[in-house]
């Protein structure tokens, strides 16, 4: 019998504002990376809040749960924000401990762009949770083709400085750019070698085709369909999320020059194996968003939570160029 984990993923808990209210007074001066976890059930639970797990009681804690790829759950009080919806990934991926059918609670969904490995389960999640979704017109068109209620879709271009207000937080969408991994030499050869070494069976290919049909293949996802989101909570704590590793756009540069530094950046780098190509995206992104903490969005099994951390080329570059918080 195969035992499956209740939830596969990583959970980060973050103290909002200037202090660390989850710690005792004598612990306030500790490096938060080495501080004991808060006594919040939501910070210890293996279940997503979206699947029935606990929400956060402390108004100064934000729970950030990473589920692989660009899929995250943010829990702030009783507010649940889902970043991308890619849960049922097919037989060649590790089971997450839940299925798309189990996601029943959310207040808001953000879709970074319309490829299937970002929004294949978005239509179903909207129906099950009743949440609204913020997405680019290309992503919205795909959702409408799947029968999603138009009243649940907030279409944004990211070009106009629009700020959307919700209970406890605001969201500012900004037009980004999708990654172009094939610009890096060797990427095509690596992908072919990988596909040759691990070919899909007919059953696996059929399952992947079904999932792939739930996303858009519009070529303008590159320059019109990738939205970066800046979430600002009521006490001023700010998180930015960028789900594809394209080069910085003028819209992002202008928006962040006005907004100022963010507390957390969840940002993708180039979707290839070339370290130089990753750093070429990473460093301008760091310079633009100026985060205190950077989480490197990755498609690998491992996460990269870099408060500025481990010894990869990207993290070394981050350490050198970001002043300590």
pLDDT tens for 153-183 read 999 999 999 999 999 999 999 999 999 877 7
Which of residues 150 and 38 earns the better pLDDT score?
Answer: 150
Confidence bin at 193 (pLDDT 50/70/90): confident
| Sequence-separated (6 or more) residues with CB below 8 Å from residue 314 | 269, 275, 278, 279, 282, 296, 304, 306
Tell me the pTM.
0.84
More confident residue, 177 or 325: 177
Statement: residue 243 has pLDDT above 50 = yes
Highest mean pLDDT among 1-15, 21-35, 273-287: 273-287
Summarize the chain as % helix, strand, coil (round to 5): 30, 20, 45
Tell me the pLDDT tens digit for each residue of 58-86. 888 888 999 989 999 999 999 999 999 99
Q: Yes or no: say if 109 and 127 are a contact pair by the CB < 8 Å rule.
A: no
Average of per-residue pLDDT across 35-59:
85
| Tokens standing for residue 227 | 């939205």
In the chain, where the domains are located: 10-321
Helix-helix angle 122-129:137-145, to 10 degrees: 70
Q: Considering the chain, what is the average pLDDT of its residues?
A: 83
Please state which CATH number belongs to domain 10-321: 3.60.15.10
Q: Is the pLDDT of residue 308 over 60?
A: no
pLDDT tops 70 at residue 19 = no
Q: What is the DSSP letter of 69?
A: B
> The tokens of 72 are what?
């995250």
């Amino acid at each position: 019998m195969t035992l499956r984990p209740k939830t596969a993923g990583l959970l980060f808990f973050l103290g909002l504002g200037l202090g660390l209210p989850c710690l005792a007074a004598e612990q306030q001066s500790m490096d938060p990376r080495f501080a004991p976890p808060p006594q919040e059930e939501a910070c210890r639970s293996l279940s997503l809040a979206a699947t029935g797990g606990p929400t956060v009681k402390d108004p100064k804690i934000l729970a950030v749960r990473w589920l692989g790829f660009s899929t995250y759950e943010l829990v702030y009080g009783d507010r649940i924000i889902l970043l991308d919806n890619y849960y049922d990934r097919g037989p060649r991926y590790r089971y997450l401990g839940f299925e798309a059918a189990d996601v029943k609670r959310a207040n808001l969904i953000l879709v970074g762009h319309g490829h299937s490995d970002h929004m294949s389960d978005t239509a179903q999640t909207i129906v099950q949770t009743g949440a609204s979704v913020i997405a680019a017109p290309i992503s919205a068109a795909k959702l409408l083709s799947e029968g999603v209620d138009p009243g649940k879709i907030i279409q944004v271009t990211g070009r106009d400085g629009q700020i959307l207000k919700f209970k406890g937080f605001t969201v500012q969408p900004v037009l980004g750019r999708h990654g172009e991994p094939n610009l890096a030499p060797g990427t095509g050869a690596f992908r072919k070698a990988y596909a040759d070494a691990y070919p899909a069976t007919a059953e696996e290919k059929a399952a992947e085709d079904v999932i792939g049909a739930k996303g858009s293949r519009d070529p303008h996802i590159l320059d019109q369909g990738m939205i970066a989101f800046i979430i600002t909570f009521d006490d001023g704590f700010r998180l930015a999320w960028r789900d594809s590793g394209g080069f910085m756009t003028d819209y992002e540069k202008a928006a962040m020059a006005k907004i100022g530094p963010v507390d957390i950046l969840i940002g993708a780098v180039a979707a290839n194996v070339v370290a130089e190509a990753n750093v070429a995206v990473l460093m301008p992104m760091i310079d633009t968003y100026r985060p205190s903490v950077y989480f490197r969005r990755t498609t690998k099994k491992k996460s990269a939570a870099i408060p500025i951390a481990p010894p990869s080329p990207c993290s070394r570059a981050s350490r050198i160029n970001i002043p300590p918080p």
